[in-house]
Amino acid sequence: MKTTPFKIAPILILSTGRCGSTMVSEMLSLHPGILSVSEFFMVLGPQAFAWRNPSGERMWRLYSRQSAALHSMLKDGEVVDENLYPLGQPGSRYEAGNLPPILSVTLPHLSPTPDALFDELAPVIRSRPRAPLAEQYRFLFEYLGNKFGRKVWVERSGGSLMHAAKLLAQFPDARVVHVYRDGRDTAMSMSNHHNFRVLIAAMRQGKVDRRKLFLETRKSPWKCWVHEMIFRLLDVRRMTDRARLGLADFGKLWSDMVVIGDEVLSKLPSDRLLNLKFEDLQSSPREKLRELIRFVDPSLDDEGWLDAASAIPKPARSKFLTLPEEDRAALTRACEPGLKLLGYPL
The domain spans of the chain are 11-342
Task: Give per-residue pLDDT as tens, 258-317.
Answer: 999 999 999 999 999 999 999 999 999 999 999 999 999 999 999 999 999 999 998 888
* Mean pLDDT of the region 20-33: 97
The mean pLDDT of 1-21, rounded to a whole number, is 94
**pLDDT at site 235:** 86
Edge-to-edge strand list for the sheet holding 152-156: 34-38, 152-156, 11-14, 175-180, 273-277
Rounded Cα–Cα distance for residues 86 and 94 (Å): 9
- Record the pTM: 0.96
Under a CB-based contact definition with an 8 Å cutoff, are residues 296 and 289 in contact? no
- The per-residue pLDDT for 227 is 83
- In one-letter notation, the amino acid at residue 117 is L
Cα–Cα dist 135/166, whole Å: 15
pLDDT of residue 76: 66
Phi, psi of 270 (to 5 degrees): -60, -30
Report the b/e string of 244-259 with b at 16+ CB within 10 A: ebebbbbbbbbbbbbb
- Contact in structure between 117 and 78 (CB atoms under 8 Å): no
Amino acid at site 254: W
Question: What does pLDDT average to over the chain?
Answer: 94
Q: 3-state class of 15 per DSSP?
A: coil
Q: Which amino acid is at 337?
A: P
Q: What confidence tens digit (pLDDT) does each residue in 27-74 have?
A: 999 999 999 999 999 999 999 999 999 999 999 999 999 998 888 888
Query: Domain spanning 11-342: which CATH class is it, in words?
Result: alpha beta
Residue 79 has pLDDT above 80, yes or no: no
Render pLDDT for 202-256 as a digit per residue (tens, 0 to 9).
999 989 999 999 999 998 888 888 888 888 888 888 999 999 999 999 999 999 9
- Given a cut of 80, is residue 80 above it in pLDDT? no
Residue count (the chain): 346
